[in-house]
Structure 1
């Protein structure tokens, strides 16, 4: 029950229904939307919500439901029910198209059996009678016209009409040519008059041709005649057309008689199509408002998480603005929420949001909230919004309010939801406040649930001390004097009457006079509330600032971890190369020492020869020993630019700067790339860098410029081909190339097989693919690197 009845309009539920109707494909679906009612049956509410949620899932995540045609099958079935009546060609085509849609929908859900149980229940136990379609297909074609061979008689009549039309055309062409040769005709060609094909004849020659005059030109110089012989043939054609029409009626009547036993089934199919259109419209509206299915419980309670008013959400969406979400809870411990705060602060919108969303859920509609929200079921709704002043009933604004309060107190119970806007207004606050407090106490005693908005201080004080009633306020920025539209539960809010009046520009002497007229107790209460609001605003700002800082810290930590892993990866590569280089140096040194010893033995330990050999040995050893670069001390804050040579402070590794990103320096060390912090590198002179390092860098740079990710190994032996591919592969990995192209030819496919087996052993290889068939096919292999 909803009291008063116009509460549906005041909460915006009627407007919601109109928006849903706009998504319907059929009048039948729109009629179902008009019949939407607020229910209290928990099972029905859950079923309708689940249907809308499942359809929304189909629209967003599954293949499109094959809904193509929506016709009023009910009207067609009722017409077919009458003895002697028959459906027209177009009406049979509508039946045919509708049945195809029904069967396609049923097949769609059968393929997904168990995936959408609540939608499947719409056609549970509904038989698929395809014989109806087959009967219609024998008579009606795919364009909705009756087939020329629907019956033997119709085929004969149709053939007779075609022959007669050919004879008539042949005859009139013959007469027309004869008239032209005799110069009887006027300018122009054969033309149609009164549905008959006529010859334009000069008026002076009209008696030379036997026939019937159907029309004449405006000047009277030309008459349009139908020759006598053609007239007879055309009459034959018309007789055949009448005969054809009678045969069509006979066929359609017979087909309607065959359809009549299925009228009840057609009505069931109509119900399925109507319900699908209805549920589809609800799902589309849910997508518009970003609606979700909350948890529904069979108790008079609610917990809204990040709720938005759907109509306000749609309006803001058009303007590319966002709605401040609402979080509120009404249950056994917090039965009534008393919302206070400044005018235009959002109190009424907050209350209307709660009321409208509750109505929508109990009408089976998805609502714009988080899925964590919990919505219960209320048996009765009592709403007091607006003044409802009535001249006819001799009711003043306050009388109308009191009349509603009387009804609320007498009929509300623990399963009722009350919504009262501006509680207690309309009369002298000195008396209206106590009456409102008494009504609130009475409603609380009956354990009624709901939300009220007020400016009265006595109601705020009562809510602060009464069990089951909770104060709440709409947050307000008292520095900028702007509402924040956020609901804060637990504390009352100030009306900011003097602050708003001051901002508007009310004279200061008037404000001072007003402040002196209020009681000291009221003044202290309002001052306390303003202070609380200020503290809440500061806490909120601090919390937002901390959240922002935490996000920044998380981002920096993630970047640090990524940089650390990158450095660790390059560190392993550098160590491996250093070991290889050291190994080569030792091998070369050993060979040099052995060769020197051999030469000393061969020279029989000649002193001069031995001395020369020792000097040569020392020089070669010094050349192969990497000495720490001696550099002049440079201040750490010396500017480093791209192209400068630097070395890592904690090692003797040197390289050239490729890029500077914030406080990170990207360095090229041979074919490697590494990243280091600015404070960990030191600029050095290019002359202090060993020539071998400079040559390797220039060689690496030129190699990169000349590097080609394509190789042709056709005609090579397998061993040579693999060796060349290995060198290309190593360079590609070092230079971070993503793709290689290997041209090996087709032949017997042995070389291709060996190459691919060889490449698959590398973990850097992501996949191998053939070239396009038009450009070489399996004679070319593309190698994609990770």
Structure 2
């Protein structure tokens, strides 16, 4: 991308915000090098990276990236035999630990699916032995510990002993010679213990003078009696320094051996930090994942300029590249025309850099090879160029390179010269760019361009709304409605006499007045349509909520009814069992009296049969409740009529008449025969056409091309999905749609995970704008 374009669209400010989200200098380094990509697959991969990181932040709220440092300079020094300092070694140990923590964090996450992140962190080497070696020698403050080696422990013990002896000797001077001292303290000069002696007592305390105060009144003297002790102490400190250098050299050599793996760890950690910095910025902007294409389509709902504060920005819908390829925006100054240009351009650059954009879910942006912009006052005094000349120089350069893979943004096209010539020039420039099939958004003040969109194919008018009541712009973009002059209305509101306004109106042409009236009518119609849409949307939401409540009440009623039926059946069964036992007992008693009664065996069998038939059946009782009622309208039925099958209490459709007063009825997936008196007419429909049915080994069943899982519990949804896919495959469908809704995204993730591992699913994708968007997943079957 041209550096000038990045400057004009303020891309650097986005990079600065992104850099603030990086947790380490490694991430900041990657951010500083970020540039928009022109390769579609690369952009899609960057967006997938950002989306995975965003999912982690949404589920966990954070990612452990602390304690990671840019250790590349230190590693480079070890390769040429350099010795690292203790702090440098500590930074390396901290980075090793940070990488291991990050890998464990990602691997321990069960949801969601994160193939990119998991593959990245799998390359982080734990390097526990090197970290242990460094930590055993250097403490958390970057100091080499006594236990780093036995020799260092011995030397430091010797140093402490000598320091104690020196201090003990010096303390005797501070007590006995306190009058000769400026302060009764022991201090250090040139790494040797000395006393602050007054100038007049210099000869009283023999020894070596190491320093004096700025006034010369105090001399810092090392008494002769402690010179030898100080010498021994200095010698021990030199030995300590050599031993520390030896320890650090051994650590540096160990680091050099693992240098390739450390370089790999640093590269991975920097990239992961870069991914999460993009996700953090998206979360901060309340941004969404854009779907990318290389066909020049841009569709953004409620898009916000990323550099305007959230409490000030006005969201707008922007669409270009499908029904039209060019937009001409008219409207007053400070109305938001230039902001709209920068919004589209900056969001395009952000999307091509792998950043999410501040708009609602379901947005779509294109990958352009070049983005051209002529925005702002670029008058150049040094080059003796006027505003018009400066703009034309830029436009000439744009026209040399623009093609169908370009996005072109013109601000106040043709401004700065004679209005008539400027308007004609603007239309010619637009014609040329449109002819090259580039995507164009242009702003203008010229009234001649208001009719431009009506006379050119692929061009649409737009405007920024102006509130006449408040005399302020609303910053709302109205696509399809050209801007109109508000000079008369504004003047009237400000108090200009009506006679002057009427006189001015008489001096403008009839055509101009007609155009203004047409524009006013369009604005009013659009405003009314938007209000009707909002009202209808509210009513729809209320209806859906009411339907949901009714469904819940119905389900509760059904559950309660089933429980009552079950309880009644259980009670009846117990009563029947008790009656049978009593009857058996009576029969046995009578059988024992057979000699007296002289009854025959077949009479006993008949009696038993009567007992059995006396058993009441609740199922029959249920059927009696739904028994055929006298049909008020015994009209003749024909194929296609919708009827109610009274014996089953189910609605169905007449397939054909199979006999006198007998019909075949389609009830769901069943076909049943019923008498006329068992059918209640509902309404007449088109002649019934039997649905195509999939044939599998002589069996037939209906399979829809979509499955609605909304409202299902997780496990139930997966069970239904598994059975449905088997049926759809047997039915020979090439693709099916799974409706899971948007919600938290858990059900969508479950469906897509299932699709990845199913042998009969070759591919899957989110639904298009006319298919349900991200609330639907389309599965390709093989």
Q: TM-score, normalised by structure 2?
A: 0.64
Q: Distance in 2 between matches of 1:202 and 1:404?
A: 80
CA distances 1:359-405 after superposition (whole Å, capped 9, x unpaired): 11011111111221111211121211123222343432223333333
Match runs of 1:262-341 below 5 Å:
262-312=258-308, 315-317=309-311, 321=312, 323-341=313-331
Match runs of 1:650-665 below 5 Å:
none
CA distances 1:593-645 after superposition (whole Å, capped 9, x unpaired): xxxxxxxxxxxxxxxxxxxxxxxxxxxxxxxxxxxxxxxxxxxxxxxxxxxxx
Is the 1:184–1:205 Cα contact (8 Å) retained in structure 2? Answer: no
Tell me if 1:361 matches 2:351. Answer: yes
Q: Distance in 1 between matches of 2:352 and 2:239?
A: 60
* Aligned-residue offset at 1:333: 2.8
Q: Distance in 2 between matches of 1:123 and 1:564?
A: 51
Tell me if 1:30 matches 2:25. Answer: no
Instruction: Give the number of the structure whose alpha-carbon radius of gyration is greater.
Output: 1
CA RMSD in angstroms, aligned pairs only: 3.8
* Aligned-residue offset at 1:108: 1.9
* Aligned-residue offset at 1:107: 2.2
Is the 1:341–1:496 Cα contact (8 Å) retained in structure 2? Answer: no
Is the 1:476–1:533 Cα contact (8 Å) retained in structure 2? Answer: no
Match of 2:134 in 1: 136
* Corresponding residue SS for 1:69: coil
Q: Distance in 2 between matches of 1:69 and 1:409?
A: 51
Match of 2:43 in 1: 45
Match of 2:592 in 1: none
Match of 1:621 in 2: none
Match of 2:233 in 1: 237
C-alpha change, 1:220 and 1:94, in structure 2 (3 Å) is closer
Match of 1:745 in 2: none
* Corresponding residue SS for 2:332: coil
* Corresponding residue SS for 1:33: helix
Match of 1:18 in 2: 16
Task: Give the one of 463, 484, 489 matched to 2:453.
Answer: 463
* Aligned-residue offset at 1:555: 8.9
* Aligned-residue offset at 1:86: 0.8
* Corresponding residue SS for 2:148: coil
* Corresponding residue SS for 2:240: helix
Structure 2 residues without counterparts, runs of 5 or longer? 557-782
C-alpha change, 1:211 and 1:440, in structure 2 (3 Å) is closer
Is the 1:477–1:537 Cα contact (8 Å) retained in structure 2? Answer: no
Tell me if 1:95 matches 2:92. Answer: yes
* Aligned-residue offset at 1:500: 3.0
Match runs of 1:765-780 below 5 Å:
none
Match runs of 1:628-707 below 5 Å:
none
C-alpha change, 1:506 and 1:32, in structure 2 (3 Å) is farther
Q: Distance in 2 between matches of 1:501 and 1:108?
A: 65
Judge which range, 548-557 or 186-195, deviates more: 548-557
Q: Distance in 2 between matches of 1:439 and 1:204?
A: 95
Is the 2:468–2:490 Cα contact (8 Å) retained in structure 1? Answer: no
* Aligned-residue offset at 1:309: 1.0
C-alpha change, 1:513 and 1:428, in structure 2 (3 Å) is farther
Match of 2:424 in 1: 434
Is the 2:304–2:343 Cα contact (8 Å) retained in structure 1? Answer: yes
Is the 2:373–2:409 Cα contact (8 Å) retained in structure 1? Answer: yes
Is the 1:47–1:118 Cα contact (8 Å) retained in structure 2? Answer: no
Is the 2:388–2:416 Cα contact (8 Å) retained in structure 1? Answer: yes
Task: Give the one of 183, 186, 195 matched to 1:191.
Answer: 186
Judge which range, 440-449 or 387-396, deviates more: 387-396
* Aligned-residue offset at 1:164: 1.9
Task: Give the one of 100, 104, 119 matched to 2:101.
Answer: 104
Judge which range, 156-165 or 557-566, deviates more: 557-566
Q: Distance in 1 between matches of 2:262 and 2:545?
A: 63
Match of 2:617 in 1: none
* Corresponding residue SS for 1:483: strand
Q: Distance in 1 between matches of 2:37 and 2:12?
A: 16
* Aligned-residue offset at 1:30: 2.9
Match of 2:571 in 1: none
C-alpha change, 1:505 and 1:426, in structure 2 (3 Å) is farther
C-alpha change, 1:283 and 1:147, in structure 2 (3 Å) is same
Match of 1:345 in 2: 335
Match of 2:703 in 1: none
* Aligned-residue offset at 1:146: 0.8
CA distances 1:242-277 after superposition (whole Å, capped 9, x unpaired): 121122112212321232233333332222232233
CA distances 1:671-722 after superposition (whole Å, capped 9, x unpaired): xxxxxxxxxxxxxxxxxxxxxxxxxxxxxxxxxxxxxxxxxxxxxxxxxxxx
Match of 1:415 in 2: 405
Match of 2:64 in 1: 66
Is the 1:387–1:398 Cα contact (8 Å) retained in structure 2? Answer: no
C-alpha change, 1:156 and 1:50, in structure 2 (3 Å) is same
C-alpha change, 1:339 and 1:66, in structure 2 (3 Å) is same
Q: Distance in 2 between matches of 1:105 and 1:185?
A: 63
Q: TM-score, normalised by structure 1?
A: 0.63
Judge which range, 103-112 or 470-479, deviates more: 470-479
Q: Distance in 2 between matches of 1:399 and 1:212?
A: 81
CA distances 1:119-164 after superposition (whole Å, capped 9, x unpaired): 3344454443333213323422233211213233322212221222
Match runs of 1:569-580 below 5 Å:
none
Is the 1:338–1:453 Cα contact (8 Å) retained in structure 2? Answer: yes
Match of 1:581 in 2: none
C-alpha change, 1:506 and 1:285, in structure 2 (3 Å) is farther
Is the 1:386–1:421 Cα contact (8 Å) retained in structure 2? Answer: yes
C-alpha change, 1:352 and 1:507, in structure 2 (3 Å) is farther
Match of 2:393 in 1: 403
* Aligned-residue offset at 1:470: 1.6
CA distances 1:638-664 after superposition (whole Å, capped 9, x unpaired): xxxxxxxxxxxxxxxxxxxxxxxxxxx
Is the 2:103–2:122 Cα contact (8 Å) retained in structure 1? Answer: no
Is the 1:385–1:420 Cα contact (8 Å) retained in structure 2? Answer: yes
Q: Distance in 2 between matches of 1:484 and 1:232?
A: 87
C-alpha change, 1:414 and 1:288, in structure 2 (3 Å) is same
CA distances 1:465-515 after superposition (whole Å, capped 9, x unpaired): 322112223333345444333223223231323323444455656645543
Match of 1:146 in 2: 144
Aligned residue pairs total: 558
Q: Distance in 2 between matches of 1:343 and 1:218?
A: 70
* Aligned-residue offset at 1:307: 1.0
* Corresponding residue SS for 1:149: helix
Q: Distance in 1 between matches of 2:54 and 2:244?
A: 45
Task: Give the one of 349, 371, 391 matched to 2:361.
Answer: 371
* Corresponding residue SS for 2:38: coil
* Aligned-residue offset at 1:39: 1.0
